[in-house]
Amino acid sequence: MFPDILKRKNTRLRKGGIIGSDHEVILHIGPSKTGSSALQNFLLNNRDILEEYGYFYPEHKVDSNNVSGGHSDLYTALKDNNLKLAHDLFTKYKQQAAKKNKTLLLSSEAFVYHIDSFEKLTGVLNIKKTAILAFFRDPMERVLSSYSQGVKRHHLTLSLTSHCHKILGSNNKQYSGKIFEPWESIYNKEHTYIFPYIPYSEKSSGLEYFFLEKLGIPEEEHRHFECNNKPINTGYSSSALELKRLLNTVIDRDAKSFNKAIDEHLQHYSDQSNEKQIELPNIISIDLYFDLVDKFRSSNKHMKTAVLRCSSSDFLNYSKRNQIQKGLSKSAAQEYSIKHAARKAFQGNNQLNEYIQTRIKEKLDAQTTDYHTVRLAEAFGLDISPYISLKSNIDNSQIKRIVNEKSGTSDYIRELALILERSGRYEEAYQLIKKALSLSSDGPLIIDIHDRLKKRLGGK
């Protein structure tokens, strides 16, 4: 049996062999992309039964899709450095829990970023009687999940490849697990419980029941709890994700009602879609995939050997290059069917279709060489012939360089890369200029183009 967090008293269930002393407070601190929305929905719907097992979980708001920030009122006070309000809220929660003789359970995926503020609540938060609970997600899974969330909610327009290059050049503590270090330092490892996050599958019992077990509620008691079988805050299908990425380049961020409607339609389309879930090696180059694996290798080893509790041998264990290459799905590497997604997702909503098409036309009129806008226009059935002009992509100087008898293969590839760059097809241009550089490593123009494209794609 895995070690559990708490020893309960005066509860419906008394379980022996539990490690640790009683705690007054449990803080579930997230972080993001580790099932917090589903967990909060579960805890909120089971507040009454949780009290029978000794836990008080204060109510909080949820949106129409059952998504919430958990106890976001406390998080907002901490974020705004409104320590008086945070103190008052925490005091209120503690008094409510004490009145019921229960342990206070609070949850917000944003808590993890505000340990400095929690330190200032020592008057109401006893560090020695507080348990910290969090989940660590495989960084390779987080890459795709964070990208999807960025496109879905935060108007991200970068391609997945560019997003991966950006991660390679950054030092994000959520990917490495370093985000938990100050919590372990202040609350001590004895009171800090970091578990592997395992996405739901038929082979796993689900995050909600894992969480119950860590609270000292064994499997035979889980039948008393109601679990929502509908996934919470799920991502888009692959075609909807690519369509939304392109839409982000034309829609108005401030048009909240239209943006909400677009999200709802794409989410409904995704929920009904039969598209298979695509894994990271299917949609980025194998070299880039293993660059990411190498980046996280040492931090993964540290997390697994020194931080995580209940980590299995499979967690953070990746297949070798030849195994992945053999298992690559040909269908997964095909072009996204964004035209099908556009037609199905917005079918019957004339107002939304008209808004999107108007925004696309405005972008085309302003920038006729934008490849992505042309692609988006095609998806929505717009006539793109007035906007296609080779003059915008090929100039006379390029033609002269190409027909020059001294030009070689590297020169042809370089000019083609320039054409693609001017069309907005930066990733394809970068792949070509890398090839040109391998053929002519001392060409100043090739080096300049290579460095410019690498910087645009987030490389260092």
Q: Which of 101-105, 132-136, 289-293, 327-331 has the lowest average pLDDT?
A: 327-331
Which phi and psi (to 5°) does residue 62 adopt?
-135, 155
Q: How many helices (H) and strands (E) does the chain have?
A: 22, 5
pLDDT tier at 333 (50, 70, 90 boundaries)?
A: very low
What does the pLDDT average to over 283-308? Answer: 93
pLDDT value at 357 more than 90: yes
Instruction: Delimit the domains of the chain by residue range.
Output: 25-139+170-224, 238-274+317-387, 390-456
**How far, in Å, are 62, 244, 252, 340, 350 from residue 347 at the CA level?**
28, 16, 21, 10, 8
**How far, in Å, are 77, 117, 343, 390 from residue 74 at the CA level?**
5, 11, 42, 56
Percent of the chain with pLDDT over 90: 45
Can you read off the two tokens belonging to residue 409? Answer: 């293969």
pLDDT value at 16 more than 60: no
* Residue of 19, 13, 16 lying closest to 50 (CA atoms): 13
> Does 318 or 303 have the greater pLDDT score?
303
**How far, in Å, are 22, 85, 218, 360 from residue 54 at the CA level?**
11, 27, 14, 56
CA distance 232 to 40: 10
How confident is the model at residue 181, as a pLDDT?
96
Q: Name the residue with tokens 């020893």.
A: 7
How confident is the model at residue 395, as a pLDDT?
62
Which phi and psi (to 5°) does residue 304 adopt?
-75, -35
CA distance 427 to 165: 11
How confident is the model at residue 335, as a pLDDT?
43
Task: For residue 261, give the 3-state DSSP assignment.
Answer: helix
CA distance 270 to 263: 10
How confident is the model at residue 137, as a pLDDT?
96
What crossing angle do the helices spanning 371-379 and 338-345 adopt, rounded to 10°? 50
**pLDDT, tens only, 385-443:** 776 654 455 666 666 666 666 678 888 888 888 888 777 778 888 888 898 898 888 77
CA distance 433 to 415: 9
Beta-bridge mates of residue 107? 28
pLDDT tier at 235 (50, 70, 90 boundaries)?
A: confident
**pLDDT, tens only, 239-258:** 899 999 999 999 999 999 99
Q: Name the residue with tokens 């910290």.
A: 132
pLDDT tier at 231 (50, 70, 90 boundaries)?
A: low
Q: Domain 25-139+170-224: give its CATH code.
A: 3.40.50
The average confidence (pLDDT) of the chain is 84
Helix, strand, coil percentages, rounded to 5, for the chain: 55, 5, 40
CB 283 within 8 A of CB 237: no
What does the pLDDT average to over 256-277? Answer: 88
CA distance 283 to 291: 14
How confident is the model at residue 446, as a pLDDT?
87
Task: For residue 105, give the 3-state DSSP assignment.
Answer: strand
**pLDDT, tens only, 185-220:** 999 888 899 999 987 654 446 889 889 988 888 889
